[in-house]
Structure 1
Amino acid sequence: MTHINVLDPGASPLDYYGFELRRLREAANLTQRQLGDVLNYTGSLVGQIETARKVPTVEFSERLDAALVTGGLFSRLLTLVMRSQLPAWFQQVAELEARAVEICSFQTHMVLGLLQTPAYARSVLGAVHKTDLDDRTAVRLARQRVFEKDEPPVFWAVLSEAALLLEIGSRDTMRGQLAHLLTLEEDPRINIQVLPYSSGPHAGLTGSFDLYRFAGDPTILYTESYGSGHPTANPDTVKDCSLRYDHLRAAALSIKDSAELIRRVMEDRYGAQVA
C-alpha cells in the first residue's frame, strides 16, 4: 500500500494527480473529510486518490477543479492518468486515438471500446476476471473523450451483424448498447455501418483491424491478439488493409439501413420497443 508521506509525484501520472490533490487540499486548510464533504464524496475516497490507490473519475476531477479553483488542472491531468492506467501494450493505441484525424474500425464480434456503454464495457472487461473492474471500466470509457475535442476525429465503424447478436452482459445491457449506437446516427463525424450475414464472404474474414489517419504522418494499421497489440506503418500492409476497408464499407449496409437493422434487432432479440 502506498503511504501518503512517500508518494512520489514522478512515479506516474496517477501519483502526480494524488500529490497535487494533497498539496492543494492542504493549502486550502482542508482535511480529507472536509474536502470530501465539499465534493459530496467520502473522505476515504479522497485519501485513496491522494495515495494513488484509486483512479479518479471525470466527475470527481471536475468537482475538485471547482472546489479548489484550479483552472481545470485535474480535468487536464485526468487524460494522462487514464491513459497511464491502460495495459502497457494498449497505451500506444490511446495515443493514436487522441492524435488521429480519422479512425476506421472493423469489428467482427463486438462493439468497439470507443462506442461502448458503461454496462457493456463492464461486461466485456469482466468476462475473464473482475479485479478492479470499476477502475478498468472508467479507464476504457475515458478514451471516448476524443469525441469531445474541439476537432474530434471523423470515425467510421463497420460492425459485423454478430456484434448486434452476441449477448454481452444481459438483455438490458444489449438494449442500452444498441440504443446508444442509434443516438449517434445524426452525428456527421460518427458513422456506423453493419455488415450483414447476408453479405457472405468478405474482405474482413481474417479479423478485426483499425486504421488511424493523421494530418501529417503516415497511416497506422492496428491489429490485436491476446494480450498484445500490433501497430504498423508498413506501406504495403496499410495499403492492403485500406483497400479491404473500402470493400467492407461497400459490402455493409448504408448508415440509414444499418440503423434500421439495429432497431429491428433491439425489438426482435432484446424486446425493446423503438419509436
Structure 2
Amino acid sequence: MPLIRELDPSASPLDYYGYELRRRREAAGLRLRDLGDVVFCTGSLIGQIETARKVPQREFSERVDAALGTDGFFSGLVGLVLRSQLPTWFQPFADMEAKATYISTYQCQLVYGLLQTKEYARAVLATGQPDKLDELLAARMERQRILKREQPPVTLVVLDEAVLHRPIGGREVMRDQLLHLLSLKDERWIRLQVLPFRVGEHASLDGSFTLLRFDDDPDVIYTEDLISGHMTANPETIRDAALRYAGLQGAALSVEDSAELIKGVLEERYGQQTGTGQRPVA
C-alpha cells in the first residue's frame, strides 16, 4: 500500500487546499479515480493536488465545487493558492492591487499585467526562466479577475508607444495582444492612452510606475527594478508621482487617438484590417 503524504494545512494555502480536497473527497466516499472522472481529469492529478505537488487551476476548482457540493469553497480558495505562487517580493503588491479603487500606471516596456493576453503573459514570464511557468501564468491570469468584478477598480493606463512595437512572443501573439488592447476601448472602467514617440523627453524617463488609491487607506506607489519591487506610501513621493502621471496623461494621445494608433500598428506591421479612420500623426 503506497504511503500517503500527510499535509500540514497551516503550512501554506496550497497545503490547505490539498488537505481539504482529500478530506472532503473521502467524506463523499469517492476514490481518486471517481472524482477524476467527474471533473474530467485523471485520478493521478487529483492525488498530486491533494499532496501539494500540483497547483490547482480555477476551472478545476469550480468543477470540484460542483462535484462535491462544496458551495464555492474551492473556487474561493484557489485565488489565494494562485497568489501564493507569485514571487514573494511581488505578493504584497498583488494584495494591494486587488483592494485598490483606482489604478494609475505608466508602462514603458510592456503591456500592464492586468491587460496582458495569456500568450503574451507566457512569453513575458518565460524570459525569467522560471521553474514553474504554468503556475506563474495561472497566477497572472487570476490577478486579472479584479477587472471582471461588479465594481472593478478604475484603471488608467498610459503605454509608451514602444510597447506597441516590441514583438513579444512573436507575430501572432503580438497581433492578438494589440487586438485585445483595442477591445478595451469601450470598457467603462478602463482608460488606455498611448504616449507617442514624438513627445520626446517626458515626466517618467526613469521608468514605469503604478499608483494605487483606496477608499480607506493611504495611496501607494509601486516600482520595480531588475531584482524586486518597491512600494511606498510616503506623501511626498506620492505627490511627485501624481504630478508625473498627470503630465504623462496630458502628453499622451486621447483614448480615441490611441486606439487609432494601435490600429495603424496592426495594419502596418501585421496586415490586420481594423476599419481604421484617420491615423494620428505620432
TM-score range, shorter chain: over 0.9
Distance 1:263 1:34 in 2: 50
In 2: Cα distance, 1:263 partner to 1:56 partner: 38
> In the TM superposition, what is the alpha-carbon distance from 1:274 to its structure 2 partner?
2.2
- Which residue number corresponds to residue 257 of structure 2? 257
Cα distance in 2 for partners of 1:40, 1:253 equals: 48
Q: How does 1:25-174 map to 2 (within 5 A)?
A: 25-174=25-174
Equivalent pair of 2:219/2:238 in contact (CA under 8 Å)? yes
CA distance in 2 between counterparts of 1:76 and 1:170 reads 35
Report the TM-score, using the length of structure 2 for normalisation. 0.94
Q: Is the 8 A contact 1:4 1:50 kept in 2?
A: no
Give the drift of 1:270. 2.1
What letter is aligned with 2:178?
A: L
Could you list the per-position Cα deviations for residues 114-138 of structure 1 after superposition, in whole angstroms to 9, with x for gaps in the alignment? 1111100100011131522111111
SS in 1 for 2:158: strand
Structure 2 residue identity aligned to 1:170 = G
**Partners of 1:170 and 1:135 in 2: CA distance:** 22
Say whether the 8 Å CA contact 2:108–2:159 is kept in structure 1. yes
One-letter amino acid matched to 2:214: F
Supply the AA of the counterpart residue of 2:56.
P
Give the 3-state SS of the residue equivalent to 1:6 in structure 2: coil
- C-alpha separation between the residues in 1 aligned to 2:273 and 2:47? 45
Does the CA contact (< 8 Å) of 2:35 and 2:43 recur in 1?
A: yes
Query: Hey, which bits of structure 1, 4+ residues long, moved more than 6 A?
Result: none
Asked if the contact 2:160–2:196 (Cα under 8 Å) also holds between the matched residues in 1, the reply is yes
Is the Cα contact below 8 Å between 1:156 and 1:192 reproduced in 2? yes
TM-score normalised per structure 1: 0.96
The structural deviation recorded for 1:8 is 0.9
| Helix, strand or coil at the partner of 1:88 | coil
| 3-state SS of paired residue (2:84) | helix
Give 5+ residue unaligned stretches, structure 1: none
- Per-residue displacement from partner, 1:201-251 (whole Å, max 9, x unpaired)? 111101100000000111101111122111001111110010000010110
The aligned residue for residue 280 of structure 2 is none
Q: Which residue of 2 aligns with 1:9?
A: 9
Describe the superposition over 1:127-161 as per-residue Cα deviations: whole angstroms up to 9, x where unpaired.
13152211111111110011122321000010000
